[in-house]
């Protein structure tokens, strides 16, 4: 992997540390408060807010320190966090009385302690966790109200809303919620699906097949068609053992994907098993993460 090593600049808006100010859209790219192009370099951290509520800041800090340490000086700058889920964790907002009150302190902690931005996914498995549409409306509004003052937050309405188990009503419902939530100070994506061009920004879920690394090039088509910043938000996931069509463990593939996503799109997110489950990173996934971020930088 030595051929992928790069020298990362100290501080500034390009890395995890030093993030500050809001991000705005300029055609097909993101720009930070200095006017420089801001590259999306994310990491899956689905249960990070649940960990914050259940175990506190120290547990979140330990996990982020572990993942950032695996990056060896070429850090990610954004964490993609789920606001609910049932399929791989029992993560129900209504079971936490401090859920809304802690959203802003959580976002502020990510920024102040680690210089990180957050993409907050409001709905996942909502057909089980929160199936009532009226409750969903109230919940989404309260989430955005709490996070609107935070300069380091993006909103994703739902994870893959085309799957109705994630959001009752699918893509049409995601678009309706987007219309309710937009223009409130935060950039909003509807979520990857048939209607994902509709939001302010576009997170693309790359198909998971043997050609997945080269399909980062599709971001160029997406951003050209929709005229908005488009980034690879959930490509193939890294795992200790490869699973055909589901997981890869070859660092070179992750490097290839990340490099092309930076060239052809607005960036990408490293997706991995330990990030899904909120665990310390294991050796093979750490190698894939390092290759991904080196190539992205």
The pLDDT value given to residue 198: 81
**Would you say residue 7 lies in a domain?**
no
Mean pLDDT of 154-162: 94
**Would you say residue 5 lies in a domain?**
no
Is the separation of the CB atoms in 139 and 122 below 8 Å? yes
pTM: 0.93
**Would you say residue 2 lies in a domain?**
no
Is the separation of the CB atoms in 164 and 191 below 8 Å? no
Strand intervals (E) in the chain: 24-26, 29-31, 37-38, 40-44, 78-82, 117-123, 153-158, 187-189, 202-204, 230-232, 237-238, 247-248, 267-270
Instruction: Identify the CATH number of the domain in which residue 197 sits.
Output: 3.20.20.80
Give the count of domains, the chain.
1
Q: Give pLDDT tens digits for 14-45.
A: 345 467 789 999 999 999 989 999 999 999 99
Residue 35, judged by CB atoms within 10 A of its CB (0-12, 13-18, 19+), counts as exposed
**Would you say residue 1 lies in a domain?**
no
- How would you classify the pairing of strands 187-189 and 153-158? parallel
SS3 30: strand
**Would you say residue 155 lies in a domain?**
yes
Q: Give pLDDT tens digits for 184-236.
A: 999 999 997 765 578 999 999 988 999 999 999 999 999 889 899 999 999 99
Q: What is the C-alpha separation between 230 and 197, in angstroms, rounded?
A: 9
Its domain, for residue 200, covers 14-296
**Would you say residue 41 lies in a domain?**
yes
């Amino acid at each position: 992997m030595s051929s992928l090593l790069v020298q990362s600049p100290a501080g500034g808006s390009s890395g995890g540390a030093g993030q500050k100010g809001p991000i705005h859209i300029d055609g097909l790219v993101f720009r930070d408060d200095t006017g420089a192009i801001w590259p999306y370099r994310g990491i899956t951290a689905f249960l990070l807010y649940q960990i914050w509520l259940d175990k506190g800041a120290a547990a979140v800090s330990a996990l982020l320190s572990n993942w950032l340490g695996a990056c060896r000086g070429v850090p990610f700058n954004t964490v993609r966090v789920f606001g609910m889920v049932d399929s791989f964790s029992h993560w129900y907002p209504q079971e936490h009385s401090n859920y809304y009150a802690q959203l802003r302190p959580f976002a502020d902690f990510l920024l102040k302690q680690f210089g990180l931005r957050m993409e907050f996914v409001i709905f996942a498995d909502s057909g089980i966790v929160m199936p009532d549409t009226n409750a969903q409306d109230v919940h989404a509004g309260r989430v955005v109200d709490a996070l609107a003052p935070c300069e380091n937050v993006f909103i994703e309405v739902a994870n893959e809303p085309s799957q109705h188990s994630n959001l009752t009503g699918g893509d049409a419902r995601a678009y309706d919620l987007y219309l309710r939530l937009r223009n409130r100070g935060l950039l909003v994506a509807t979520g990857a699906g048939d209607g994902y061009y509709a939001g302010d920004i576009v997170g693309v879920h790359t198909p998971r097949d043997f050609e997945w690394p080269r399909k980062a090039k599709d971001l160029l088509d997406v951003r050209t068609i929709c005229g908005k910043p488009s980034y690879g938000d959930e490509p193939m996931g890294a795992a200790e053992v490869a699973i055909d069509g589901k997981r890869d463990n070859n660092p070179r593939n992750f490097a290839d994907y990340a490099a092309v996503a930076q060239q052809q799109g607005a960036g990408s997110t490293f997706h991995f098993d330990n990030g899904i489950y909120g665990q310390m990173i294991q050796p093979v996934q750490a190698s894939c993460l390092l290759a991904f971020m080196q190539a992205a930088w």
